[in-house]
Amino acid sequence: MKIAILSPIAWRTPPEKYGPWEQVASNIAEGLIEKNIEVTVFATGNSITKGKLESVTRDGYAENTEIDPKVWECLHIANLMEQADQFDLIHNNFDFLPLTYSRLIKTPMLTTIHGFSSPSILPVYKKYNKDNYYVSISNFDRSSDLEYMATIYNGLNTGQFTYQETPKDYLLFFGRIHPDKGTYESIQIAKKSGRKLIISGLIQNQEYFDSKIKPFVNGDDIVYVGNSESIARDKLLGEAFALLHPISFHEPFGLSVAESMMCGTPVIAFNMGSMPELIINGKTGYLVDTIDEAAEAVNQVQEIIRINCRDWALSKFSREKMVESYFQIYEEIIR
């Protein structure tokens, strides 16, 4: 079986820091390689894989502002499609654009829909649904207009996340700094509960950071540590008393939520999107609706048994489980 994994090219695969789609594409590829599957990863030239790497640009366009995203995305996708007949299956982790090539090639294509950036992209998914195979990353993040083969939760490389039985006393916000993700709300939750908050993440909205976050950052009870790489991420997540995830949008999955529980750290999240699928309320964290409820939940976190968080994450969000699920679908499609 020869599989082509198509990754985005905003960031390296796997990313050094931020880059959730690139991270999942890497986890799929490396997990398949561990099963002795022949894998070619189509990604940036500075990507890291134990398989074969194909690239048209060394750097991702989010890392090199001289790269025009639209131009190099087109060249990147075309590079795979021109070699499509060399593979038994293409696994698309690149959103909707590759679907427009699918009637021009004979190789079947499986697309993991990592989320809908806007309802305006649905016509592409609808048009090519009969010619392609779709997987959702949560049951919540499905369109009633589409047919899916399965829901497969994103899987983590469990070796990168260390279980911590005894946490420190700080709360953690870990994710892109944007109104959708609730950085400001996390500050308010921390202040109401009287605990220190560490903020780690990519500043995706500079105006939001400057006006709503930066005025509270004092290096004492509100600390911003930048966009953390994998080793720092493991330490931050594992030593946190709880992860705060007060989102204001219907999040399709939420890697940081799974990563936190993989370290044994409970999550307090606003009850939106896929959160009820990721968190067992009262056992691996708390699902709440307001800042006040979240602050109250902070005072109940000590009732959570941290090993339950780890066990739940291992059972649902491991790379091995994800890859085995995808492999079964590959076999079904190829048959």
pLDDT for 230 equals 86
Return the sign of the alpha-carbon dihedral for residues 259, 264, 265, 271: positive
User: Bigger pLDDT: 117 or 10?
Assistant: 10
Just give the CATH number of 2-155+318-334. 3.40.50.2000
Q: What is the mean pLDDT of the chain?
A: 96
Q: What is the pLDDT of residues 14-24, one digit of tens each?
A: 999 888 999 99
Architecture of the domain whose range is 158-316: 3-Layer(aba) Sandwich (3.40)
Average pLDDT over residues 258-285: 98
Range list of β-strands (E), the chain: 2-6, 38-42, 52-54, 89-92, 109-113, 133-136, 150-151, 171-174, 197-200, 222-224, 242-245, 267-270, 285-288
> Which positions ≥6 away from 98 have C-beta within 8 Å?
6, 77, 80, 81, 90, 92, 109, 111
pLDDT for 118 equals 85
Asked whether the predicted pLDDT for residue 72 surpasses 90, the reply is yes
pLDDT for 288 equals 98
Please check whether the two domains, 2-155+318-334 and 158-316, share a CATH topology: yes
pTM of the model: 0.94
154-158, 226-230, 259-263: segment of lowest average pLDDT: 226-230
pLDDT for 208 equals 98
Q: What is the pLDDT of residues 96-108, one digit of tens each?
A: 999 999 999 999 9
The two tokens of residue 198 are: 């560490």
* Helix orientation angle between 183-193 and 291-298, rounded to the nearest 10 degrees: 50
Asked whether the predicted pLDDT for residue 30 surpasses 90, the reply is yes
The two tokens of residue 46 are: 């500075």
pLDDT for 238 equals 97
Confidence at 156, pLDDT banded by 50, 70, 90: very high
Asked whether the predicted pLDDT for residue 114 surpasses 90, the reply is yes
Domain spans in the chain, listed from the N-terminal domain onward: 2-155+318-334, 158-316
Which residue bears the tokens 């491991």?
318
**Rounded CA separation 222/214 (Å):** 9
Average pLDDT over residues 139-160: 96
